[in-house]
A and B are shown apart, each in its own frame.
Chain A
Amino acid sequence: MIYFILISVLLLLMIAASVYSIIQKDLLYAVLATGIISLILSILYYLLQAPDVALTEAAIGVALTTIIFVITIRNTVRMEDESDKKEKFKSAVK
């Protein structure tokens, strides 16, 4: 029973995080949402009896992919519609 509730909550959180990562205009928050998807996925893999895949997903999805996205945002723009918030980006990330 606890297994069932845990899986349901994790699946709902995963859908919510993926929707958030697509509709969010601030790309930094969107990238953090993809990191949350990977975190939930690694717990789900563990519950589905796949510890090897859980280790890989935790290391790659949470750490490396997120960091590479953040560096790219630092090098390009932070907002999805670049017209109005360009100045805000410069002050927000030094």
Chain B
Amino acid sequence: MKKVLVILLLATLGYYVAGTYFDIGFGQPHFIKGLLPVKDIYLAQTVKSLKVSNAVTSIVVNFRGFDTLGEVTVLFLAVTALGSILYKKMNVLGERSVLFSSSSIVTSGSKLLFPAIILLGFYVFIHGHLSPGGGFQGGVIIASGFLLMLLAYENYSVSHTALSVVESLAGITFAGVGLLGFMHGGTFLQNFLPTGVLNHLFSGGIIPIIYIAVGFKVGAELTGVIYTVLHEKGESNG
């Protein structure tokens, strides 16, 4: 009975949501005719005034930069909540939960791959304004590199102090660069550095700086999440 009710409810919901989207049409221009769509304004501004190649980067960091600050704060809150939910007393460090001894092929292979993964992560977020990628992607790639090492070695550990220092410094850089805009032009996150030439590494003003800070912050936070969860050992379950 409950299942039938749920299916009826979901079918009604799906009928109206899907109907709305079918009317819009896939791949069709869906802006009002005669008005300049917001995407064209954003794309033109990206090339002309910001000199950034990747339009997604310019929207995430510049046009919607305040949203990104809030989003990074939400991620920080999630990490804090995770740490406080899985709270443990000091000195009662849990055993590593996924405890299987890896073969020497796995350990030496991951030792070989680890620097390459970290380098790829740095590349992705340093070139975030030129090519696909950016702070979020690079940070996640770095976190997955640490995940590889944590899975391959039983007693590999990441320093919590270093993680929190990196994370706080990156957050301070983001907010500080935003506040410097007040001194130069007038608004928060104002672009005050010279924008340079399109498609050069040093272009885009403050956008690469902020995206690199976001990359370090996301990488440190996600590494902390994995480390906390991986050191959680169920007591009742053996």
Contacts and interface: CB of A to CB of B under 8 A. Distances in A.
Asked whether the complex places CB atoms of A and B closer than 8 A, the reply is yes
Given A51-B132, A64-B147, A71 B141 contact: no
Interface in A44-86: 51-52, 54-56, 59-60, 63-64, 67-68, 70-72, 74-77
Contacts of B98: 70-71, 74
B190 interface: no
A52 B229 contact: no
B147 A67 contact: yes
B207 interface: no
A76 B234 CA distance: 7
A52 B133 contact: yes
B212 to A, nearest CB: 16
A63 B117 CA distance: 13
Contacts of A51: 132
A25 interface: no
A70 B143 CA distance: 17
B229 A72 contact: yes
B72 interface: no
Contact of A55 (B124, B151, B237): B124
Interface residues of B, number: 29
A57 to B, nearest CB: 10
B137 A75 contact: no
Given A64-B222, A71-B232, A55 B147 contact: no
Contacts of B34: none
Interface residues of A, number: 20
Given A67-B226, A76-B234, A55 B144 contact: no
A74 B97 contact: yes
A72 B233 CA distance: 10
A63 B234 contact: no
A94 interface: yes
Contact of B140 (A54, A59, A70, A77): A59
A59 B147 contact: no
B110 to A, nearest CB: 14
A72 B54 CA distance: 37
Contacts of B54: 52
Interface of A: 51-52, 54-56, 59-60, 63-64, 67-68, 70-72, 74-77, 90, 94
